[in-house]
Chains A and B, each alone.
Chain A
Amino acid sequence: MTLTLGHYLFLGSGLFIIGIFGALTRRSVIGILMSIELIFNAANVNLAAFNRFLHPDGVTGQAFALFIMTVAAAEVVVGLALVLAIYRSRDKIYMEDINIMRG
């Protein structure tokens, strides 16, 4: 059996759905951040797969995947910093308790 583009896309969409589900349902902020990482990785899989199968000569997709990893790392840092800040000031970590953005 050879791996086709379809397999990779299936994997990617699987990761994405898990990530979305997690992000929407987890109560803990940490969990949400982890789910978002999954979504990123789903996109990374897609990028690498498309690059490999549609434009095998170039490395643009892989390069973007690398960028996304870097950006994701930075994002997690910022996100965790925010979580820490909120935890320190409010002593809370569950999402339903944090509603300072209420209109």
Chain B
Amino acid sequence: MIEYVWLVPLLPLAASLIILFVGRESDHSPMPYVGIAAIGAGLWISLRVIFDGAVGAAVLPFEKDWSWYSFAADLGGRAFIFDMRAGVLIDGAAAVMLAVVCLVSLLVQVYSLGYMHGDTRFKRYFAYISFFTASMLGLVVSNNLIVTFACWELVGVSSYLLIGFWFEQKAPPYAGKKAFITTKLGDLGFFLALLLTFTYAGTYNIVRLKEAVAMGYLPPVVLTFIGLGLLAGAAGKSAQAPLFIWLPDAMEGPTPVSALIHAAPMVAAGLYLVARVYFIYLASPAAMEAVAWVGLATAFLAGTMALVPYDIKRVLAFSTVSQLGFMMCALGVGGYTAGLFHLTTHAFFKALLFLCAGSVIHAVHTNDMRSMGGLSKRMPVTFLTMAVGSLALAGIPPFAGFFSKDLILEKVFEHSHLMFAVLVFTACLTAFYTFRMLFLTFLGDGRDHDRVAHAEESGSVMTVPLLILAALAVVSGWLFEHGHAFASFVGNGGAAEAAAEAAGHGTQAAAGHALNPMVLAVGLTAAAVLLILLAYSLYGGPDLSRAARIKERFLPVFNVLENRWGFDAFFLFLVDASDRLAVLCRWLDTEVIDRIFVDGWGLICRVFAEISHLFDALFVDQAVDGCGYVSRDVAGRGLRSLVARGQVQEYLLYLAVGVSLFAILNK
């Protein structure tokens, strides 16, 4: 089965083209089922790959590639035709990602059948979703960094299309543009890293590249720059500090899209990339350290920002950013498996939370939690599944998030106590804001009676995906046996961690600072439960005045958080500055460059022309006139009256005399 794995991204791609070009736009268009069938087939293949890999029927990593195109290249002072090959490279991490992406995408598409019903561009929505999934899957399977980058950008474009899907309003197109440009800013780093890679390694094939790194062909400083460049790209796509500003705005898209962007596919891409080229980071401690710090900063900043918004999707968005920071930090401290494990579990429960939020929004037609409250009775299934998701996110055992977050914290503790402290604090915040959201939405009184009273539980096409995801959020932690089975399957993860140790990471662990896992687990759970209780006391009841009082006490802090620590303002300033620069350039171009190099050129010509004209009039023309005057008025008139009297015979005489003279003088 594994040799057909290249079909996994191509099936949704074909599906998206079919959906886009076949048939008419209509509510009852059967086209979405094409996309669902394609992704279903993809899911089946990827599950078979995992199964085959687990039982040993297929050998991982599996690589297969085809010649794509060739271009004239020169390496080592020699020009030749370089054969660019593209293909698939499936290792444990890729197989897991494939399954996760397919599964989430499948559930999101099924859910969207209900959620998007009645939209004017129902069919096109599914085309976009399939295209998005296809590019994400392509990114996962590709064995060639160029193809990875290509799919990476296509993911960006399709998210641009999806976020701005309701383009008749003002905000969604703006948010789409913001997402695209911000991620593109990070992609510049990716782009430069690609240039460096080829210049020094002469290949884009990940396996060849790994060999080249192992052989030491790449100088350490180059590796560091490549690592930092890729990190910049990853930071853009995975919404890491300081490029996370696009993610909260991305909530303008349809909610299932948010689930798709924030759960598995898009935001995972950056982490997946870092994991995919982990060997580069292992070879460059500086880049590795940068990954850890970026992750840490992201986790903390986003965790604090999630405390204040009232938009249910924004809370989830910030929490996603924060969790991505956790994963990034894990990768940065050498916790390859821990990071990927959290990525997997997070994909399930975050997709679940978003789809629950979507279900709520579908019922009450608003994102504002201040207009919700007391929905638990009206929407029991949604409430229960969302509670499961929240417990998983908060890291309460036995839900999935507990295991993965625990693993990360262990790894981080081994690396640095400061990072550990910050992350534990953030983990506590996670518990608090998650339940703040849950309580505000479902408990207490319906604050907006019109909306709440008319809220109804969503149909089964929406709730069934919720239930499946909730089940996964419960069991995915166990399925992988605390991540050990996961680690052995992800395979090279173990090797990567060993290498990380060898490279000097986690040396503190060797100094006897290892943490007792039980202490950590119990301590964390206790703290989380305490904070959940605190959240309940503030937001659980019908009376929210205490929360309001606290807000007034700490208003400056709230303001900072609501302004997102000023990052948005900073980027807006950047945009503004570049606009000003652009206007300056335009002015320069029309008023200076054009004046100097075109008009100036013309002016010089004109000046020379005037000078020549003057010279012409004064000297040349006068000389001509002079000649004319002399010949006509001086010599002409006198001579003419003498000889040219019109007598032909006279002329003949002159001729005869002349000829005779010649004859005589010729002697």
Whether B656 pairs with A102 at a CB distance below 8 angstroms is no
Q: Which of B616-650 contact A (CB under 8 A)?
A: 640, 644-649
| A and B contact pairs by CB, cutoff 8 A, 21 listed | A20-B656, A23-B649, A23-B652, A24-B649, A24-B652, A24-B653, A32-B649, A95-B647, A95-B648, A95-B649, A96-B647, A98-B648, A99-B647, A100-B646, A101-B646, A101-B648, A102-B644, A102-B646, A103-B640, A103-B644, A103-B646
A23 to B654 CA separation, bound complex (whole angstroms): 13
A24 to B647 CA separation, bound complex (whole angstroms): 11
A58 to B312 CA separation, bound complex (whole angstroms): 123
Across the two chains, which residue of chain A brings its CB closest to B660? A20
Selected contact of A99 from candidates B640, B646, B652, CB within 8 Å: B646
A25 to B656 CA separation, bound complex (whole angstroms): 13
Size bin of chain A's contact surface: 10 to 19
> Which residues does chain A contribute within 8 Å of B656, judged by CB atoms?
20, 24
Specify the main secondary structure of chain B where it touches its partner.
Answer: helix
A52 to B362 CA separation, bound complex (whole angstroms): 128
Expressed in whole angstroms, the minimum distance between the Cβ of B109 and any Cβ of chain A is 104
Expressed in whole angstroms, the minimum distance between the Cβ of B650 and any Cβ of chain A is 9
Which one of B640, B645, B648 has the highest number of Cβ atoms from chain A below 10 Å of its Cβ? B648
Question: Ordered nearest first, which 5 A-B pairs have the shortest CB separation?
Answer: A99-B646, A102-B646, A103-B644, A103-B640, A101-B646
> Which residues does chain B contribute within 8 Å of A101, judged by CB atoms?
644, 646, 648
- Contacts A95-B649, A100-B646, A103-B644 known; 10 new A-B pairs at CB < 8 A: A24-B652, A24-B656, A25-B649, A32-B648, A98-B646, A98-B648, A99-B647, A101-B644, A101-B648, A103-B646
Expressed in whole angstroms, the minimum distance between the Cβ of A79 and any Cβ of chain B is 11
Whether A102 pairs with B645 at a CB distance below 8 angstroms is yes
> Which residues does chain A contribute within 8 Å of B647, judged by CB atoms?
95-96, 99
> Which residues does chain B contribute within 8 Å of A98, judged by CB atoms?
646, 648
Q: Which of B354-401 contact A (CB under 8 A)?
A: none
Expressed in whole angstroms, the minimum distance between the Cβ of B637 and any Cβ of chain A is 9
Across the two chains, which residue of chain A brings its CB closest to B637? A103
Expressed in whole angstroms, the minimum distance between the Cβ of B659 and any Cβ of chain A is 10
A25 to B648 CA separation, bound complex (whole angstroms): 11
> Which residues does chain A contribute within 8 Å of B653, judged by CB atoms?
24
Across the two chains, which residue of chain A brings its CB closest to B642? A103
Q: Which of A50-103 contact B (CB under 8 A)?
A: 95-96, 98-103
A62 to B418 CA separation, bound complex (whole angstroms): 128
Which one of A20, A101, A103 has the highest number of Cβ atoms from chain B below 10 Å of its Cβ? A103
A14 to B645 CA separation, bound complex (whole angstroms): 30
Expressed in whole angstroms, the minimum distance between the Cβ of A89 and any Cβ of chain B is 16
Across the two chains, which residue of chain B brings its CB closest to A101? B646
A23 to B647 CA separation, bound complex (whole angstroms): 12
Expressed in whole angstroms, the minimum distance between the Cβ of B404 and any Cβ of chain A is 118
Across the two chains, which residue of chain B brings its CB closest to A100? B646
Expressed in whole angstroms, the minimum distance between the Cβ of A63 and any Cβ of chain B is 25
A25 to B649 CA separation, bound complex (whole angstroms): 8
Across the two chains, which residue of chain A brings its CB closest to B656? A20
Whether B645 pairs with A99 at a CB distance below 8 angstroms is yes
A32 to B648 CA separation, bound complex (whole angstroms): 10
Expressed in whole angstroms, the minimum distance between the Cβ of B125 and any Cβ of chain A is 98
> Which residues does chain B contribute within 8 Å of A24, judged by CB atoms?
649, 652-653, 656
A55 to B172 CA separation, bound complex (whole angstroms): 110
A102 to B649 CA separation, bound complex (whole angstroms): 12
> Which residues does chain A contribute within 8 Å of B652, judged by CB atoms?
23-24
Expressed in whole angstroms, the minimum distance between the Cβ of A30 and any Cβ of chain B is 14
Across the two chains, which residue of chain B brings its CB closest to A36? B652
A99 to B656 CA separation, bound complex (whole angstroms): 20
Expressed in whole angstroms, the minimum distance between the Cβ of B649 and any Cβ of chain A is 6
Expressed in whole angstroms, the minimum distance between the Cβ of A70 and any Cβ of chain B is 23
Q: Which of A5-47 contact B (CB under 8 A)?
A: 20, 23-25, 32
Expressed in whole angstroms, the minimum distance between the Cβ of A33 and any Cβ of chain B is 11
Expressed in whole angstroms, the minimum distance between the Cβ of B186 and any Cβ of chain A is 93
Across the two chains, which residue of chain A brings its CB closest to B643? A103
> Which residues does chain A contribute within 8 Å of B645, judged by CB atoms?
99, 102
> Which residues does chain A contribute within 8 Å of B646, judged by CB atoms?
98-103
> Which residues does chain B contribute within 8 Å of A103, judged by CB atoms?
640, 644, 646
A103 to B644 CA separation, bound complex (whole angstroms): 5
Expressed in whole angstroms, the minimum distance between the Cβ of B647 and any Cβ of chain A is 6
> Which residues does chain B contribute within 8 Å of A25, judged by CB atoms?
649
> Which residues does chain A contribute within 8 Å of B648, judged by CB atoms?
32, 95, 98, 101
A101 to B650 CA separation, bound complex (whole angstroms): 12
A8 to B648 CA separation, bound complex (whole angstroms): 31
A23 to B652 CA separation, bound complex (whole angstroms): 8
Across the two chains, which residue of chain B brings its CB closest to A32? B649
> Which residues does chain A contribute within 8 Å of B640, judged by CB atoms?
103
> Which residues does chain A contribute within 8 Å of B644, judged by CB atoms?
101-103
Expressed in whole angstroms, the minimum distance between the Cβ of B653 and any Cβ of chain A is 6
Expressed in whole angstroms, the minimum distance between the Cβ of A38 and any Cβ of chain B is 14
Expressed in whole angstroms, the minimum distance between the Cβ of A46 and any Cβ of chain B is 14
A24 to B645 CA separation, bound complex (whole angstroms): 15
A95 to B640 CA separation, bound complex (whole angstroms): 19
A26 to B644 CA separation, bound complex (whole angstroms): 19
Q: Which of B420-455 contact A (CB under 8 A)?
A: none
Across the two chains, which residue of chain A brings its CB closest to B659? A20
> Which residues does chain B contribute within 8 Å of A99, judged by CB atoms?
645-647
Q: Which of B118-137 contact A (CB under 8 A)?
A: none
Expressed in whole angstroms, the minimum distance between the Cβ of B635 and any Cβ of chain A is 12
